[in-house]
Structure 1
């Protein structure tokens, strides 16, 4: 088993019912069980597994593509808390179709700075960074809806 395959298998097994997981593990070679069990334990300890996110990870799809963009008013508040460079990165990563909405809501100097940063970003945007920024946007939007600061 390669390392990526082992981690994917552990994630899939970690989400199963304990009886199903035991049944599958009992039928695997000892070497595979030994490699999988610590990773399964780690996945269960440190993650709350989201079914949609798990499907994307196991399918090698960039997870940021499946993320929901918050409503424009929430998006604007979240992006306004970031520097122009990071606001541009979050827009490029998680809400590219909303860039004009955000830029129209900004003061001219900020809009120009964000627009300048958007032009400097690589195309395609790095998927791992996009995924991380999309998660940040999701968390900040949820915190904003809950009335806390992100």
Structure 2
């Protein structure tokens, strides 16, 4: 079992009812139980587990999906500071549901360029890049918020 698989299995087992967890563990080889038990105990030390984030981790979804997107006016300011290819990447990575709002606010040629780049984005979007771009959006939003204020 690889380390990522072991950690995911431990997270899933940690959230199970104790009887269910015992049943599953009893059916695993001893080597796997030995690897999983310390990780299960570590995961259980946390008093609350965010069910949505846990589902994302177990489904290999990137963590950026759990992040909040800034309000549209702030998002527009942040994206306008980027080239069309990078604006498209940030939209695809961290705010795909806001693409139409942004494109409607853009000048026609910029909207066309961003839309073209969006059509070229890989599916699924690379999770490490998406996480980095979501962090960029988080860090750029406060200065954009200050600049976007009337």
TM-score of the alignment, normalized to the shorter chain, above 0.5: yes
Listed as ranges, the matches of 1:98-109 within 5 Å are 98-109=98-109
- Contact 2:61–2:127 at 8 Å: present in 1 too? no
Query: Partners of 1:96 and 1:61 in 2: how far apart?
Result: 15
Listed as ranges, the matches of 1:20-59 within 5 Å are none
Shift in CA distance, 118/61, structure 1 to aligned 2, threshold 3 Å? closer
Partner of 1:97: 97
Structure 1 position 3, deviation (Å): 6.4
Structure 1 position 95, deviation (Å): 0.4
Listed as ranges, the matches of 1:1-150 within 5 Å are 61-145=61-145, 147=146
- Contact 2:70–2:141 at 8 Å: present in 1 too? yes
Structure 1 position 123, deviation (Å): 1.0
The answer for unaligned runs of 5 or more in structure 2 is 8-48
Give the length in aligned residue pairs. 105
Q: Deviations over 1:75-133 (max 9, x none)?
A: 00000000000000000000000000000000001000000000011111111111110
Name the TM-score, length of structure 2 as normaliser.
0.59
The SS at the match of 2:68 is: coil
Shift in CA distance, 124/60, structure 1 to aligned 2, threshold 3 Å? closer
Stretches of 4+ moved more than 4 A in 1? 1-5, 54-61
The answer for unaligned runs of 5 or more in structure 1 is 8-50
Query: Partners of 2:61 and 2:91 in 1: how far apart?
Result: 19
Query: Partners of 2:72 and 2:114 in 1: how far apart?
Result: 17
Q: Which entry has the higher C-alpha Rg, 1 or 2? A: 2
